Amino acid sequence: KIAVCWFRRDLRLHDQAALYYALKSGYRVLPLFIFDREILDKLSDPRDLRVTFIHREIRRLREELASLGSSIRVEYGAPVDVWKKLLHEYDIAEVYTNHDYEPAAVDRDDAVGKFLNANRKAFYTFKDQCIFEKKEVLSQSGTPYTVFTPYSRAWKATLTDFYTRSYPTETYFDAFFQTPPLPLISLEEMGFEDTPAFAFPERSWSSERIRHYAETRDFPGMEGTTRLSVHLRFGTISIRDLVRDALAYNATYLNELIWRDFYFQILHHFPHVGKGLSFRPEYDRIRWRNKEAEFEAWCDGRTGYPLVDAGMRELNATGYMHNRVRMVTASFLAKHLLVDWRWGEAYFAKKLLDYDLAANNGGWQWAAGSGCDAAPYFRVFNPALQAQKFDPHRRYIRKWVPEADAFGYPPPVVEHAFARERAIQTYQAALKA
């Protein structure tokens, strides 16, 4: 009999909750990764860099496991079908995996859990990708927090060393199932193309960067943030390791990691936000203009607002956009252009390497004003002022929009003062109705 550890957004052997408990179970542990056909079929770009990223990281895991005399079973298909096949092939006693809070993942895990239990296999699941989940941080009255500041206060008050301690998986590495390397399906076999030259952000971080985070993080022209988001997204690094560094070096940085937990618990308690609805239902009455041509100009970085265009071009070229600029571009789409924020949310979902339903939806609803802890609707970012303040030497703009100061750069797609007034009136009309 063996135990299986099913990897999903936790692609590492170090400090991984489900893996730790599997290795301690007394059974030999076979790691498993499923390229989920139901997810991959929805991706329209055969060069989708997230698939490349996962594939590279699986290859790395496979090498690490080979040095331990083990390997990872990699499957391509619908999860329940894969499990049917595996139950025929191996004598499986128990299955271990980590929680995923996205509605589709919750449904998938319910279905797999039911299937395994019906076949008398235990299915154990664990918290791994955040410090606090679900109901671990609630208000005095036992309800979920919907405003960040009191949430973060309660988060910090609940924190003890226990929550940031690493799971010492390494102690139990001799419990891996021993096998020669198992086959690894290629990207091409799944209908994708490899992009071997693409350089993803590094998997390591310097404490120096975290130490100076508060002074540098708002300037997109500097390397002032950690660029770890894709690694946090796929769990190639441990949140506990990172939180310990944040606690040691920088309170502002810790706050950003708390935002991440905040949005996970919002999605858990208010799953409607992940199903296309505003957190505040009255915002679903807004009469969006939804002009296709303006949306396309925004997507391509042709709005005539250099900071907005720089952000969109950075996103299109690299799969990344600086946080300050995510806020400005999102606000611009929803408020200046009055395009339904869900269009922008979907565009980011397609392009961002670090795309995460909870954080992306949280960010978009914040910018559109419809979210749980949103900027008030009458506060409309001025993209030119934002550029002056946060890109004072135009380093970021010059990098992505070199023609911004030259003849031929398009005039603004809409004038700021006019757009601001129009947004406020449109929002007011919806909220009064």
Residues contributing to the site for ligand FAD (CB under 6 A): 217, 225-229, 232-233, 256-257, 259-260, 263, 323, 326-327, 330, 348, 352, 354-356, 359-360, 362-364, 367
When the beta carbons of 241 and 256 are compared against ligand FAD, the nearer one is 256
The residues pairing with 28 across neighbouring beta strands, listed in sequence order, are 2
When the beta carbons of 306 and 371 are compared against ligand FAD, the nearer one is 371
Q: Which of 64, 133, 136, 288 is catalytic?
A: 288
Q: Considering the complex, what minimum distance in angstroms separates the CB of residue 322 from ligand FAD? A: 6
Question: For the chain, how long is the longest CA-to-CA vector?
Answer: 71
In DSSP notation, 201-259 reads PPS---HHHHHTHHHHTT-TTS--S---HHHHHHTSS-HHHHHHHHHHH-HHHHHHHHH
Q: How far, in Å, CA of 248 to CA of 73, rounded?
A: 38
Tokens representing 65?
Answer: 């496991």
Q: Considering the complex, what minimum distance in angstroms separates the CB of residue 259 from ligand FAD? A: 4
Does 260 carry a binding-site annotation? Answer: yes
Q: Considering the complex, what minimum distance in angstroms separates the CB of residue 417 from ligand FAD? A: 24
On whether the CB atoms of residues 414 and 382 are closer than 8 A, the answer is no
When the beta carbons of 70 and 365 are compared against ligand FAD, the nearer one is 365
Q: How far, in Å, CA of 363 to CA of 344, rounded?
A: 11
When the beta carbons of 96 and 259 are compared against ligand FAD, the nearer one is 259
Phi/psi of residue 173, nearest 5 degrees: -60, -20
Question: In this structure, which amino acid lies at residue 93?
Answer: A
Q: Which residue is nearest to ligand FAD (CB)?
A: 363
Does 356 carry a binding-site annotation? Answer: yes
Does 258 carry a binding-site annotation? Answer: yes
188 catalytic residue (yes or no): no
Which residues, including other chains, have CB under 8 Å from residue 119's CB and lie 6 or more apart?
87
User: DSSP alpha helices (H): ranges in 287-402?
Assistant: 292-300, 306-318, 323-331, 341-351, 357-368, 383-390, 395-400
Does 165 carry a binding-site annotation? Answer: no
Q: Which of 205, 207, 127 is nearest to 167 (CA)?
A: 127
Q: Determine the Cα angle at 163 with ends 101 and 279, to 5°.
A: 30
Q: Considering the complex, what minimum distance in angstroms separates the CB of residue 180 from ligand FAD? A: 37
341 catalytic residue (yes or no): yes
Q: How far, in Å, CA of 37 to CA of 213, rounded?
A: 39
Number of Cβ atoms within 10 Å of the Cβ of 163: 15
Does 262 carry a binding-site annotation? Answer: yes
Does 257 carry a binding-site annotation? Answer: yes
Q: Considering the complex, what minimum distance in angstroms separates the CB of residue 342 from ligand FAD? A: 12
Does 81 carry a binding-site annotation? Answer: no
400 catalytic residue (yes or no): no
When the beta carbons of 274 and 362 are compared against ligand FAD, the nearer one is 362
When the beta carbons of 112 and 266 are compared against ligand FAD, the nearer one is 266
Q: Considering the complex, what minimum distance in angstroms separates the CB of residue 402 from ligand FAD? A: 23
Which residues, including other chains, have CB under 8 Å from residue 358's CB and lie 6 or more apart?
101, 102, 260, 263, 264, 266, 267, 274
On whether the CB atoms of residues 322 and 308 are closer than 8 A, the answer is no
- Please state at what angle helix 383-390 crosses helix 306-318, rounded to 10 degrees: 70
Burial class (CB in 10 A: 0-12, 13-18, 19+), 406: exposed
Q: Which of 155, 341, 366, 400 is catalytic?
A: 341
Question: Rg (Cα) of the chain, in Å, rounded?
Answer: 23
On whether the CB atoms of residues 203 and 11 are closer than 8 A, the answer is no
Q: Which of 6, 83, 343, 364 is catalytic?
A: 364
Q: Which of 6, 155, 259, 298 is catalytic?
A: 259
Q: Considering the complex, what minimum distance in angstroms separates the CB of residue 410 from ligand FAD? A: 23
Does 315 carry a binding-site annotation? Answer: no
Q: Considering the complex, what minimum distance in angstroms separates the CB of residue 248 from ligand FAD? A: 15
Q: How far, in Å, CA of 30 to CA of 223, rounded?
A: 40
Does 396 carry a binding-site annotation? Answer: no
Sheet holding 73-77, edge to edge: 73-77, 28-36, 2-7, 92-98, 122-126
When the beta carbons of 25 and 226 are compared against ligand FAD, the nearer one is 226
When the beta carbons of 133 and 256 are compared against ligand FAD, the nearer one is 256
382 catalytic residue (yes or no): no
Does 173 carry a binding-site annotation? Answer: no
Which residues are known binding-site members for FAD?
213, 225-229, 253, 256-263, 354-356
Which residues are known binding-site members?
213, 225-229, 253, 256-263, 354-356
Task: Indicate which residues carry an active-site annotation.
Answer: 256, 259, 288, 323, 341, 364
